[in-house]
Structure 1
């Protein structure tokens, strides 16, 4: 099943694929969180440090394969490429208004 992707989620994915850290950070709420396999990074400064070391800083690419709604989350299945982790991952997004409040990454 492929659902419609909320604009806030699309904005983050487009920023990541464009290697645009500023747009990526702007896509989160002020107290937004990235949960990368149980390691949580809250707020722009911590998300930037994580992204510089492990995500956009590694020239990440995300090829979306599936989008589905699970309760309050939009779950995106994507093939991850770049100079870091490569392979399939699931990204669960919680949206507040026009921004993402939480992005959880799991295999």
Structure 2
């Protein structure tokens, strides 16, 4: 498994960890969808609010463990630590891109 990333996926992880939400959000399309914790967030405004809310609630940070392609999707695996039961946990992030932008992100154990 490689850990080399570029573009919007790299901006997402680096931005979240640095608490630079503009950078974290920069790779998402205007109509992107995020699925996390059994909730769906549609569009950049909802995704931005989701990022802010989860950072405030969990003070989470991700350590990238690996990245692999699954067809056209990119699967990133990261150890996530923060203020939540069971920390740290390993999560899988499935990124779908379209035109160089993230169109969908699904986060699951």
TM-score (norm 1): 0.86
1:1-107 matches, cutoff 5 A: 1-2=1-2, 4-54=4-54, 56-57=55-56, 58-84=58-84, 86=87, 87-107=89-109
Distance in 1, matches of 2:21 and 2:6, equals 20
Distance in 1 of aligned mates of 2:3 and 2:99: 19
Q: Unaligned 5+ residue runs, structure 2?
A: none
Is the 1:3–1:69 Cα contact (8 Å) retained in structure 2?
A: no
Note the aligned Cα RMSD (angstroms): 1.8
Moved over 4 A (4+): none
Give the superposition deviation at 1:82: 2.3
Number of residue pairs the alignment of both structures matches: 106
**Which structure's relative contact order is higher, taking Cα pairs within 8 Å and 6+ residues apart?**
1
C-alpha deviations, 1:13-65, integer Å up to 9, x for none? 111111111222222000011110441101122112211221x3333211011
For 1:92, what is the secondary structure of its paired residue?
Answer: strand
